[in-house]
Amino acid sequence: MTTPPAPVWSRTILHVDLDAFFAAVEQRDRPELRGKPVIVGGGGPNDRGVVSTASYEARAFGVRSAMPLREAGRRCPHGIFLPVDGAKYLAASKDVLAVLRRFTPAVEPISIDEAFLDVTGSRILFGSGEDIGRRIKEEVKSSVDLTISVGVATTKLVAKIASDLRKPDGLVVVQPGDEATFLAPLEIRRLWGVGEKSATALREYGVRTIGDLAALPDDLLIRRFGKHGASLAQRARGLDDDPVSDRDAAKSIGHEHTFDVDTSDREQIERTLLAMSEGVAGRLRDSGTKATTITVKIRDTTFRTITRQRTLPDATDMTEPIYRTALDLARPEVRGLQIRLLGVTASGLGEREQLSLFAAEDPRRRKVTEAADAVRHRFGERAITRARLVGARLPAPFERDPMTPVDPRALDAADPQPDPGADRGDDEIDEIEPID
Protein backbone atom coordinates (compact mmCIF):
# COMPACT_ATOMS: atom_id res chain seq x y z
CA MET A 1 0.00 0.00 0.00
CA THR A 2 1.43 3.38 -1.01
CA THR A 3 1.92 5.93 1.73
CA PRO A 4 -0.21 9.07 1.19
CA PRO A 5 1.69 12.22 0.27
CA ALA A 6 3.03 14.27 3.16
CA PRO A 7 1.26 17.54 3.96
CA VAL A 8 2.44 20.38 1.75
CA TRP A 9 3.89 22.23 4.74
CA SER A 10 6.25 19.44 5.82
CA ARG A 11 9.67 18.68 4.49
CA THR A 12 10.52 15.27 3.09
CA ILE A 13 14.11 14.33 3.80
CA LEU A 14 15.80 11.08 2.80
CA HIS A 15 18.98 9.61 4.18
CA VAL A 16 20.51 6.97 1.93
CA ASP A 17 23.29 4.67 3.13
CA LEU A 18 25.03 2.06 1.00
CA ASP A 19 25.20 -1.29 2.76
CA ALA A 20 28.72 -2.51 3.72
CA PHE A 21 29.89 -0.35 0.84
CA PHE A 22 33.54 -1.30 0.25
CA ALA A 23 32.86 -5.00 0.76
CA ALA A 24 29.73 -4.83 -1.41
CA VAL A 25 31.70 -3.29 -4.28
CA GLU A 26 34.27 -6.08 -4.02
CA GLN A 27 31.53 -8.72 -4.03
CA ARG A 28 29.83 -7.03 -6.96
CA ASP A 29 33.01 -7.01 -9.04
CA ARG A 30 34.16 -10.47 -7.99
CA PRO A 31 31.18 -12.84 -8.00
CA GLU A 32 33.23 -15.58 -6.35
CA LEU A 33 33.25 -13.45 -3.16
CA ARG A 34 29.46 -13.26 -2.87
CA GLY A 35 28.16 -14.94 0.25
CA LYS A 36 31.65 -15.05 1.78
CA PRO A 37 33.12 -13.10 4.72
CA VAL A 38 34.97 -10.20 3.07
CA ILE A 39 37.05 -7.88 5.25
CA VAL A 40 38.33 -4.69 3.62
CA GLY A 41 41.16 -2.74 5.19
CA GLY A 42 44.45 -4.53 4.69
CA GLY A 43 46.32 -7.29 2.96
CA GLY A 44 45.82 -9.85 5.69
CA PRO A 45 45.01 -10.59 9.34
CA ASN A 46 48.60 -9.91 10.40
CA ASP A 47 48.61 -6.30 9.18
CA ARG A 48 48.67 -3.44 11.69
CA GLY A 49 45.71 -1.54 10.27
CA VAL A 50 42.02 -1.61 11.06
CA VAL A 51 38.91 -2.88 9.30
CA SER A 52 37.38 -0.31 6.95
CA THR A 53 34.29 -2.34 6.12
CA ALA A 54 33.20 -5.93 6.65
CA SER A 55 30.57 -7.78 4.65
CA TYR A 56 27.51 -8.97 6.53
CA GLU A 57 28.86 -12.51 6.33
CA ALA A 58 31.97 -11.32 8.24
CA ARG A 59 29.88 -9.33 10.70
CA ALA A 60 28.20 -12.58 11.72
CA PHE A 61 31.57 -13.51 13.26
CA GLY A 62 31.72 -10.24 15.21
CA VAL A 63 33.94 -8.33 12.78
CA ARG A 64 33.23 -4.59 12.85
CA SER A 65 34.50 -1.40 11.26
CA ALA A 66 37.49 0.16 13.06
CA MET A 67 38.43 -3.21 14.63
CA PRO A 68 42.15 -4.06 14.44
CA LEU A 69 42.80 -6.45 11.56
CA ARG A 70 44.48 -8.93 13.88
CA GLU A 71 41.37 -9.10 16.04
CA ALA A 72 39.26 -9.53 12.90
CA GLY A 73 41.50 -12.43 11.88
CA ARG A 74 41.04 -14.10 15.26
CA ARG A 75 37.27 -13.74 15.10
CA CYS A 76 36.96 -14.74 11.45
CA PRO A 77 39.91 -17.02 10.57
CA HIS A 78 38.42 -17.87 7.17
CA GLY A 79 37.78 -14.24 6.27
CA ILE A 80 38.94 -12.91 2.91
CA PHE A 81 41.10 -9.84 3.56
CA LEU A 82 41.38 -7.22 0.82
CA PRO A 83 43.16 -3.85 0.64
CA VAL A 84 41.09 -0.72 0.18
CA ASP A 85 40.73 0.25 -3.48
CA GLY A 86 39.91 3.92 -3.12
CA ALA A 87 39.62 4.73 -6.82
CA LYS A 88 37.11 1.93 -7.40
CA TYR A 89 34.93 2.91 -4.42
CA LEU A 90 34.99 6.57 -5.39
CA ALA A 91 33.83 5.69 -8.91
CA ALA A 92 30.95 3.62 -7.49
CA SER A 93 30.03 6.46 -5.14
CA LYS A 94 29.84 8.89 -8.06
CA ASP A 95 27.59 6.47 -9.95
CA VAL A 96 25.22 6.35 -6.98
CA LEU A 97 25.21 10.15 -6.63
CA ALA A 98 24.26 10.39 -10.30
CA VAL A 99 21.19 8.24 -9.55
CA LEU A 100 20.25 10.36 -6.54
CA ARG A 101 20.41 13.55 -8.58
CA ARG A 102 17.80 12.19 -10.97
CA PHE A 103 15.27 12.82 -8.20
CA THR A 104 16.42 16.16 -6.76
CA PRO A 105 19.27 18.64 -7.08
CA ALA A 106 19.28 18.99 -3.29
CA VAL A 107 21.76 16.20 -2.50
CA GLU A 108 24.21 16.53 0.40
CA PRO A 109 26.90 13.82 0.47
CA ILE A 110 28.25 13.33 4.00
CA SER A 111 30.66 10.49 3.29
CA ILE A 112 31.60 8.24 0.41
CA ASP A 113 28.67 5.93 1.12
CA GLU A 114 25.83 8.11 2.41
CA ALA A 115 23.94 11.29 1.59
CA PHE A 116 20.90 13.37 2.48
CA LEU A 117 18.28 14.38 -0.08
CA ASP A 118 15.55 16.99 0.23
CA VAL A 119 12.78 15.69 -2.04
CA THR A 120 10.07 18.07 -0.83
CA GLY A 121 9.83 19.69 -4.23
CA SER A 122 10.03 16.34 -6.01
CA ARG A 123 6.85 14.87 -4.54
CA ILE A 124 4.66 16.30 -7.29
CA LEU A 125 6.73 14.40 -9.88
CA PHE A 126 7.62 11.19 -8.07
CA GLY A 127 5.06 10.73 -5.29
CA SER A 128 5.55 10.40 -1.55
CA GLY A 129 8.87 10.11 0.25
CA GLU A 130 8.30 6.37 0.52
CA ASP A 131 7.68 6.13 -3.24
CA ILE A 132 10.86 8.07 -3.94
CA GLY A 133 12.88 6.00 -1.50
CA ARG A 134 11.66 2.79 -3.11
CA ARG A 135 12.48 4.05 -6.61
CA ILE A 136 15.96 5.11 -5.53
CA LYS A 137 16.62 1.66 -4.09
CA GLU A 138 15.46 0.02 -7.31
CA GLU A 139 17.51 2.30 -9.56
CA VAL A 140 20.70 2.00 -7.49
CA LYS A 141 20.33 -1.77 -7.66
CA SER A 142 19.65 -1.84 -11.40
CA SER A 143 22.19 0.84 -12.39
CA VAL A 144 25.06 0.25 -9.95
CA ASP A 145 24.26 -3.26 -8.65
CA LEU A 146 24.50 -2.22 -5.00
CA THR A 147 21.95 -2.25 -2.20
CA ILE A 148 21.10 0.85 -0.23
CA SER A 149 19.14 1.52 2.94
CA VAL A 150 16.84 4.55 3.08
CA GLY A 151 15.27 6.53 5.90
CA VAL A 152 12.41 8.94 5.18
CA ALA A 153 11.39 11.66 7.62
CA THR A 154 10.83 15.39 8.01
CA THR A 155 14.33 16.02 9.40
CA LYS A 156 17.88 14.94 8.64
CA LEU A 157 18.32 13.65 12.18
CA VAL A 158 15.34 11.29 12.10
CA ALA A 159 15.98 10.17 8.51
CA LYS A 160 19.56 9.25 9.44
CA ILE A 161 18.47 7.16 12.41
CA ALA A 162 15.67 5.54 10.39
CA SER A 163 18.01 4.39 7.61
CA ASP A 164 20.12 2.51 10.14
CA LEU A 165 17.35 0.43 11.69
CA ARG A 166 16.70 -2.24 9.05
CA LYS A 167 20.02 -2.65 7.26
CA PRO A 168 20.78 -4.13 4.86
CA ASP A 169 18.42 -3.11 2.05
CA GLY A 170 15.99 -1.39 4.43
CA LEU A 171 13.35 1.30 3.97
CA VAL A 172 11.99 2.99 7.10
CA VAL A 173 9.43 5.82 6.90
CA VAL A 174 8.65 8.14 9.83
CA GLN A 175 5.44 10.07 9.21
CA PRO A 176 5.19 13.81 10.01
CA GLY A 177 4.30 14.27 13.67
CA ASP A 178 5.61 10.83 14.69
CA GLU A 179 9.25 11.87 15.17
CA ALA A 180 9.35 11.90 18.99
CA THR A 181 7.34 8.66 19.22
CA PHE A 182 9.68 6.97 16.75
CA LEU A 183 12.79 8.04 18.65
CA ALA A 184 11.54 7.41 22.18
CA PRO A 185 12.30 3.65 22.56
CA LEU A 186 15.69 3.76 20.84
CA GLU A 187 18.94 3.38 22.78
CA ILE A 188 20.49 6.73 23.65
CA ARG A 189 23.70 6.13 21.68
CA ARG A 190 21.75 6.28 18.43
CA LEU A 191 21.28 10.03 18.88
CA TRP A 192 23.63 12.46 17.16
CA GLY A 193 25.90 14.08 19.71
CA VAL A 194 25.83 11.27 22.26
CA GLY A 195 29.16 9.48 22.55
CA GLU A 196 30.35 7.16 25.30
CA LYS A 197 31.17 9.95 27.76
CA SER A 198 27.82 11.64 27.30
CA ALA A 199 25.97 8.33 27.54
CA THR A 200 27.77 7.54 30.81
CA ALA A 201 26.87 10.95 32.22
CA LEU A 202 23.24 10.60 31.13
CA ARG A 203 22.95 7.20 32.80
CA GLU A 204 23.50 9.00 36.11
CA TYR A 205 20.09 10.58 35.48
CA GLY A 206 18.48 7.26 34.60
CA VAL A 207 18.62 7.91 30.85
CA ARG A 208 18.71 4.73 28.78
CA THR A 209 16.58 5.68 25.78
CA ILE A 210 16.07 8.77 23.65
CA GLY A 211 12.63 9.10 25.23
CA ASP A 212 14.23 9.23 28.68
CA LEU A 213 16.41 12.07 27.47
CA ALA A 214 13.48 13.94 25.94
CA ALA A 215 11.72 13.85 29.31
CA LEU A 216 14.57 15.58 31.19
CA PRO A 217 14.17 19.31 31.92
CA ASP A 218 16.12 21.53 29.54
CA ASP A 219 17.73 23.50 32.37
CA LEU A 220 19.20 20.30 33.85
CA LEU A 221 20.78 19.36 30.53
CA ILE A 222 22.14 22.86 30.04
CA ARG A 223 23.70 22.87 33.52
CA ARG A 224 25.33 19.49 32.87
CA PHE A 225 26.38 19.85 29.23
CA GLY A 226 26.31 23.59 28.53
CA LYS A 227 25.13 24.67 25.08
CA HIS A 228 25.41 21.07 23.94
CA GLY A 229 22.66 20.18 26.45
CA ALA A 230 20.14 22.44 24.75
CA SER A 231 20.75 20.83 21.36
CA LEU A 232 20.53 17.35 22.92
CA ALA A 233 17.07 18.14 24.25
CA GLN A 234 15.92 19.34 20.82
CA ARG A 235 17.29 16.30 19.01
CA ALA A 236 15.74 13.90 21.50
CA ARG A 237 12.34 15.34 20.56
CA GLY A 238 13.04 14.94 16.85
CA LEU A 239 13.49 18.67 16.24
CA ASP A 240 16.09 19.53 13.61
CA ASP A 241 15.76 22.35 11.06
CA ASP A 242 19.18 21.79 9.48
CA PRO A 243 18.73 22.15 5.71
CA VAL A 244 20.04 19.77 3.08
CA SER A 245 22.85 21.61 1.36
CA ASP A 246 26.00 20.68 -0.52
CA ARG A 247 27.66 23.98 0.32
CA ASP A 248 30.96 23.52 2.14
CA ALA A 249 30.40 19.76 2.18
CA ALA A 250 34.10 19.03 2.39
CA LYS A 251 35.35 20.32 5.75
CA SER A 252 38.78 18.71 5.70
CA ILE A 253 41.07 16.49 3.67
CA GLY A 254 43.35 14.12 5.55
CA HIS A 255 45.33 10.91 5.48
CA GLU A 256 46.59 8.57 8.20
CA HIS A 257 49.16 5.79 8.09
CA THR A 258 49.63 2.98 10.62
CA PHE A 259 53.16 1.58 10.61
CA ASP A 260 53.62 -2.18 10.28
CA VAL A 261 56.08 -1.94 13.20
CA ASP A 262 56.19 0.93 15.70
CA THR A 263 59.07 3.22 14.82
CA SER A 264 61.23 6.01 16.20
CA ASP A 265 63.32 6.27 13.04
CA ARG A 266 63.43 9.95 12.08
CA GLU A 267 63.89 9.33 8.37
CA GLN A 268 60.94 6.95 8.21
CA ILE A 269 58.74 9.40 10.11
CA GLU A 270 59.71 12.31 7.88
CA ARG A 271 59.22 10.34 4.67
CA THR A 272 55.80 9.26 5.88
CA LEU A 273 54.82 12.86 6.61
CA LEU A 274 56.06 13.81 3.13
CA ALA A 275 54.01 11.07 1.44
CA MET A 276 50.87 12.09 3.31
CA SER A 277 51.43 15.80 2.62
CA GLU A 278 51.83 14.97 -1.06
CA GLY A 279 48.52 13.12 -1.03
CA VAL A 280 46.70 15.88 0.86
CA ALA A 281 48.01 18.52 -1.54
CA GLY A 282 47.00 16.45 -4.56
CA ARG A 283 43.47 16.05 -3.32
CA LEU A 284 43.24 19.77 -2.56
CA ARG A 285 44.19 20.51 -6.16
CA ASP A 286 41.77 17.89 -7.51
CA SER A 287 38.93 19.50 -5.55
CA GLY A 288 39.85 23.06 -6.56
CA THR A 289 40.42 24.17 -2.97
CA LYS A 290 43.21 25.53 -0.81
CA ALA A 291 43.71 25.02 2.93
CA THR A 292 44.64 27.47 5.65
CA THR A 293 45.10 25.05 8.57
CA ILE A 294 47.30 21.96 8.93
CA THR A 295 46.89 19.36 11.67
CA VAL A 296 49.16 16.44 12.52
CA LYS A 297 48.05 13.40 14.50
CA ILE A 298 50.53 11.21 16.35
CA ARG A 299 49.75 7.96 18.15
CA ASP A 300 52.47 6.17 20.11
CA THR A 301 52.87 2.53 21.05
CA THR A 302 50.75 3.03 24.19
CA PHE A 303 47.87 4.36 22.02
CA ARG A 304 48.30 7.87 23.45
CA THR A 305 47.18 10.29 20.74
CA ILE A 306 48.51 13.82 20.24
CA THR A 307 47.16 16.38 17.77
CA ARG A 308 48.86 19.66 16.90
CA GLN A 309 47.51 22.36 14.58
CA ARG A 310 48.81 25.51 12.87
CA THR A 311 47.21 28.17 10.69
CA LEU A 312 49.20 29.05 7.58
CA PRO A 313 49.95 32.66 6.59
CA ASP A 314 48.65 31.91 3.08
CA ALA A 315 46.15 29.34 1.82
CA THR A 316 47.84 26.56 -0.16
CA ASP A 317 47.32 23.42 -2.21
CA MET A 318 51.04 22.66 -2.65
CA THR A 319 53.03 19.92 -0.97
CA GLU A 320 55.97 21.95 0.33
CA PRO A 321 54.20 24.32 2.76
CA ILE A 322 51.98 21.50 4.01
CA TYR A 323 54.97 19.23 4.59
CA ARG A 324 57.08 21.94 6.26
CA THR A 325 54.23 22.74 8.64
CA ALA A 326 53.52 19.07 9.41
CA LEU A 327 57.22 18.48 10.06
CA ASP A 328 57.49 21.48 12.39
CA LEU A 329 54.46 20.30 14.33
CA ALA A 330 55.56 16.67 14.57
CA ARG A 331 59.27 16.94 15.30
CA PRO A 332 59.08 18.05 18.95
CA GLU A 333 56.32 15.53 19.70
CA VAL A 334 57.93 12.36 18.32
CA ARG A 335 61.27 12.63 20.08
CA GLY A 336 61.93 9.57 22.21
CA LEU A 337 58.64 7.88 21.27
CA GLN A 338 57.80 4.71 19.40
CA ILE A 339 55.26 5.88 16.85
CA ARG A 340 52.37 3.68 15.76
CA LEU A 341 50.35 6.09 13.59
CA LEU A 342 50.80 9.43 11.85
CA GLY A 343 48.19 11.62 10.19
CA VAL A 344 48.16 14.89 8.24
CA THR A 345 44.94 16.86 7.69
CA ALA A 346 44.23 20.11 5.84
CA SER A 347 41.21 22.20 6.84
CA GLY A 348 39.93 25.74 6.54
CA LEU A 349 39.16 25.04 2.89
CA GLY A 350 38.41 27.76 0.36
CA GLU A 351 38.27 28.24 -3.39
CA ARG A 352 41.55 27.94 -5.29
CA GLU A 353 41.20 31.49 -6.67
CA GLN A 354 42.04 32.86 -3.22
CA LEU A 355 45.28 34.84 -3.66
CA SER A 356 47.82 36.17 -1.20
CA LEU A 357 48.68 39.88 -1.20
CA PHE A 358 52.11 39.22 0.28
CA ALA A 359 53.51 36.12 -1.43
CA ALA A 360 53.71 35.24 -5.10
CA GLU A 361 53.50 31.57 -6.01
CA ASP A 362 56.24 30.26 -8.30
CA PRO A 363 54.40 29.56 -11.59
CA ARG A 364 57.11 27.12 -12.70
CA ARG A 365 56.62 24.96 -9.62
CA ARG A 366 52.87 24.87 -10.22
CA LYS A 367 53.34 23.88 -13.86
CA VAL A 368 55.58 20.99 -12.81
CA THR A 369 53.10 19.94 -10.13
CA GLU A 370 50.14 20.02 -12.50
CA ALA A 371 52.09 18.00 -15.07
CA ALA A 372 52.80 15.35 -12.40
CA ASP A 373 49.09 15.36 -11.44
CA ALA A 374 48.16 14.69 -15.07
CA VAL A 375 50.52 11.69 -15.18
CA ARG A 376 49.03 10.26 -11.97
CA HIS A 377 45.47 10.75 -13.17
CA ARG A 378 46.23 8.88 -16.38
CA PHE A 379 48.55 6.11 -15.16
CA GLY A 380 47.85 5.80 -11.42
CA GLU A 381 49.23 7.22 -8.18
CA ARG A 382 52.44 5.21 -8.38
CA ALA A 383 53.31 6.37 -11.91
CA ILE A 384 55.39 9.27 -10.62
CA THR A 385 56.76 10.00 -7.16
CA ARG A 386 59.42 11.97 -5.34
CA ALA A 387 62.92 10.52 -5.22
CA ARG A 388 62.88 10.54 -1.42
CA LEU A 389 59.86 8.23 -1.42
CA VAL A 390 61.23 5.64 -3.86
CA GLY A 391 61.57 2.33 -2.04
CA ALA A 392 59.95 3.74 1.09
CA ARG A 393 57.31 0.96 1.10
CA LEU A 394 54.59 3.48 1.86
CA PRO A 395 51.11 3.37 0.32
CA ALA A 396 50.64 5.66 -2.62
CA PRO A 397 48.95 8.86 -1.44
CA PHE A 398 45.29 8.15 -0.72
CA GLU A 399 45.41 4.76 -2.34
CA ARG A 400 43.52 3.65 0.77
CA ASP A 401 41.68 6.86 1.54
CA PRO A 402 39.40 8.22 -1.23
CA MET A 403 38.34 11.82 -0.85
CA THR A 404 34.89 12.20 0.60
CA PRO A 405 32.91 15.14 1.92
CA VAL A 406 32.63 15.09 5.69
CA ASP A 407 29.78 16.25 7.86
CA PRO A 408 31.29 17.81 11.01
CA ARG A 409 28.91 15.76 13.16
CA ALA A 410 30.47 12.61 11.76
CA LEU A 411 33.92 13.55 13.07
CA ASP A 412 34.97 11.73 16.21
CA ALA A 413 36.56 14.50 18.25
CA ALA A 414 37.41 12.27 21.20
CA ASP A 415 39.21 9.75 18.95
CA PRO A 416 38.15 6.75 21.08
CA GLN A 417 39.48 3.27 20.60
CA PRO A 418 37.01 1.08 18.74
CA ASP A 419 34.59 -1.03 20.71
CA PRO A 420 34.92 -4.51 19.16
CA GLY A 421 31.58 -5.52 20.59
CA ALA A 422 29.58 -2.63 19.20
CA ASP A 423 27.12 -3.40 16.45
CA ARG A 424 25.49 -0.27 15.10
CA GLY A 425 24.98 -1.82 11.67
CA ASP A 426 26.74 0.94 9.76
CA ASP A 427 30.20 1.65 8.36
CA GLU A 428 30.91 4.97 10.02
CA ILE A 429 31.29 6.32 13.56
CA ASP A 430 28.59 8.96 13.77
CA GLU A 431 28.99 10.43 17.25
CA ILE A 432 30.96 13.41 18.41
CA GLU A 433 31.83 13.64 22.07
CA PRO A 434 31.05 16.97 23.76
CA ILE A 435 33.58 18.54 26.07
CA ASP A 436 32.28 17.69 29.49
Asked whether residue 145 is domain-assigned, the answer is no
Predicted confidence at residue 409, as pLDDT, reads: 33
Q: Which domain holds residue 339?
A: 252-403
DSSP states along 375-427: HHHHH-GGGS--GGGTT--PPPTTTT-------GGGS-TT-PPP-TT---SSS
Active site residues: 114
Question: Which ranges of the chain have pLDDT less than 50?
Answer: 1-2, 5-8, 248, 353-360, 396-436
Predicted confidence at residue 234, as pLDDT, reads: 85
Predicted confidence at residue 405, as pLDDT, reads: 37
Residue pLDDT, tens place only, 39-76: 998 778 887 778 989 999 999 999 998 888 999 999 99
Predicted confidence at residue 388, as pLDDT, reads: 60
Asked whether residue 268 is domain-assigned, the answer is yes
DSSP states along 350-389: EETT---SS----HHHHHHHHHHHHHHHHH-GGGS--GGG
Are residue 214 and residue 275 in the same domain, yes or no? no
Predicted confidence at residue 362, as pLDDT, reads: 63
- How far the first Cα of the chain sits from its last, in Å, is 47
Asked whether residue 1 is domain-assigned, the answer is no
The CB density around residue 44, as the number of other CB atoms within 10 Å, is 13
Are residue 397 and residue 314 in the same domain, yes or no? yes
Residue pLDDT, tens place only, 374-387: 655 555 555 556 65
Choose one of 37, 65, 85: the last residue of a domain.
85
Q: What is the CA radius of gyration of the chain?
A: 23
For residues 219, 222, 223 and 228, what is the CA-based torsion angle, rounded to 10 degrees?
A: 170
Predicted confidence at residue 389, as pLDDT, reads: 64
Predicted confidence at residue 430, as pLDDT, reads: 29
Taking the C-alpha atoms of residue 316 and residue 284, their distance in angstroms, rounded to an integer, is 9
Choose one of 244, 263, 296: the last residue of a domain.
244
Predicted confidence at residue 65, as pLDDT, reads: 86
Residue pLDDT, tens place only, 129-146: 999 999 999 999 999 999
Predicted confidence at residue 404, as pLDDT, reads: 37
Are residue 237 and residue 274 in the same domain, yes or no? no
Predicted confidence at residue 111, as pLDDT, reads: 83
Predicted confidence at residue 413, as pLDDT, reads: 29
Are residue 304 and residue 334 in the same domain, yes or no? yes
Predicted confidence at residue 427, as pLDDT, reads: 38
Question: Does this model's pTM top 0.75?
Answer: no
Asked whether residue 203 is domain-assigned, the answer is yes
Are residue 298 and residue 238 in the same domain, yes or no? no
The CATH number assigned to the domain holding 319 equals 3.30.1490.100
Are residue 214 and residue 318 in the same domain, yes or no? no
CB 133 within 8 A of CB 125: no
